Amino acid sequence: MNRTKLSNTLRKLKLIYVVDKIRFHIQKFKNRKINRKFKENNPSVVLPPDYLIYESFQMNYHKYYTESVNSAKELVGHIEKHIQLKEKKILDWGCGPARIIRHLPTIVNNGCSFFGTDYNTKTINWCKENIAEVNFNNNNLTANLPYPDDHFDVIYGISVLTHLSEKMHYNWYNELIRVLKPEGIMLLTTQGDNYKTKLSESELEKYNENNLIIRGKVKEGHRTYSAFQPKLFMENLFSNSTILEHIQKEPQNNWIPQDIWIIKK
């Protein structure tokens, strides 16, 4: 049985959470030495609880903290092509335990203000207690943010749509557009053509017909809930905005890059 079939069978049998917890412990065990070394070398870095790191990313402190400085710089590079980051309000939607947003006040210290929101209460409680330079909010799964219309200059969401249903793609897109200023910039990542290799035959057929592919049967928004977005699906989603860039990087070694969409309201 291949991995896709196995994953779909585990979902049907409601065993995917158990397998995911086992995967967490395996990653924790495999990375125990490099994680210990990271703590020894970086005693001043405040780390979230292990499961929060795993749930939103990978159980690897170096990747969560050090490598994410580069990811944050890369993100800033993409955004700065379209807007000057000076005295701007920036929102990280689905921020998790602040992997990216915790680095932005150092990378972009130009009078900007920083906000993070996530539907995971534990992760937001940790962020509120530990990351002082960012304003955090705990939202619901449903698309309803406590910010006024036209509030943010920049919004980004890294691997958040990838865990949402079709209905939520539309609802969240509309909500994010509501809180984005006119001419504001939004960057979202998706599982596009690079992820075709992960799809089963029947999923691939539907994907090639430009349908969103959903692997659900688990709590929506959780890491085990997966969505795969064909290009045309995203273009239709963004039909009332201007698409500035659609970036598809080449896969490298074991890394499968998500597509990056940059749009303007």
Task: Pick between residue 35 and residue 120 the one whose CB is nearest to ligand SAM.
Answer: 120
Q: How far is the CB of 211 from ligand SAM (least distance, A)?
A: 21
Q: Least distance in Å: CB of 35 to ligand SAM?
A: 17
Return the DSSP state at 15: -
**Rounded Cα–Cα distance for residues 234 and 132 (Å):** 35
Query: To the nearest whole angstrom, how small is the minimum distance from the Cβ of residue 205 to ligand SAM?
Result: 26
Q: Helix %, strand %, coil % for the chain, to 5? A: 45, 20, 35
Residue 204 binding ligand SAM, by CB under 6 A: no
Q: Does the protein bind ligand SAM through residue 188 (CB under 6 A)?
A: no
Q: How many residues does the chain have?
A: 265
Burial class, 33, CB count within 10 angstroms (exposed 0-12 / middle 13-18 / buried 19+):
exposed
DSSP state of 255: B
CA 227 – CA 216 distance, rounded (Å): 8
* Closer CB to ligand SAM, 11 or 99, in the complex: 99
Question: Is the Cα dihedral 135, 141, 146, 148 positive or negative?
Answer: positive
Structure tokens at 48: 């979230």
Provide, rounded to whole angstroms, the least separation between the CB of residue 262 and ligand SAM.
16
Nearer to ligand SAM, 28 or 63 (CB): 63
- For ligand SAM, the closer CB: 171 or 210: 171
Strand pairing partners for 113?
Answer: 89
| Per-residue binder mask for ligand SAM (CB under 6 A), 116-135, x = binder | --xxx--x------------
List 72, 85, 90, 100, residue binding ligand SAM (CB under 6 A): 100
Q: What is residue 181's DSSP assignment?
A: E
Residue 103 is a binding residue for ligand SAM (CB under 6 A): no
- Structure token pair of residue 93: 């939607």
Tell me the per-residue interface mask from 165 to 184 with ligand SAM, x by CB under 6 A, - otherwise: --------------------
User: Does residue 163 touch ligand SAM according to CB under 6 A?
Assistant: yes
Report residue 213: phi and psi, to 5°.
-105, 130
According to DSSP, residue 125 is labeled H
The smaller minimum CB distance to ligand SAM, of residues 170 and 210, is found at: 170
- Interface residues with ligand SAM (CB under 6 A) are 56-57, 94-96, 99-100, 118-120, 123, 139, 141, 158-160, 163-164, 221, 223
